[in-house]
């Protein structure tokens, strides 16, 4: 599982972009004690979009 910061680094996005994507429902974190967590497999589509846009 990835933390919020690891997701931002993995996708090459800023904190404001991360918050916007969570608010719009594009990113769906698992709410756990200690913060949001993500499974890397669930980020595949966003990873491909970041790669397409040249962020990573």
Strands 30-32 and 2-3: unpaired
The reported pTM is: 0.80
pLDDT digits (tens, 9 = 90+) for 8-26: 999 999 999 999 999 999 9
Collect all residues with Cβ–Cβ distance below 8 Å to 43 and sequence separation of at least 6.
2, 7, 10, 11, 27
pLDDT digits (tens, 9 = 90+) for 27-56: 999 988 988 899 988 898 888 888 888 876
């Amino acid at each position: 599982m990835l933390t919020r910061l690891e997701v931002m680094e993995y996708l090459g996005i800023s904190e404001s972009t991360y918050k916007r994507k969570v608010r719009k429902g594009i990113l769906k974190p698992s709410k756990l004690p200690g913060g949001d967590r993500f499974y890397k497999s669930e980020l595949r589509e966003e990873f491909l979009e970041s790669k397409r846009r040249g962020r990573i």
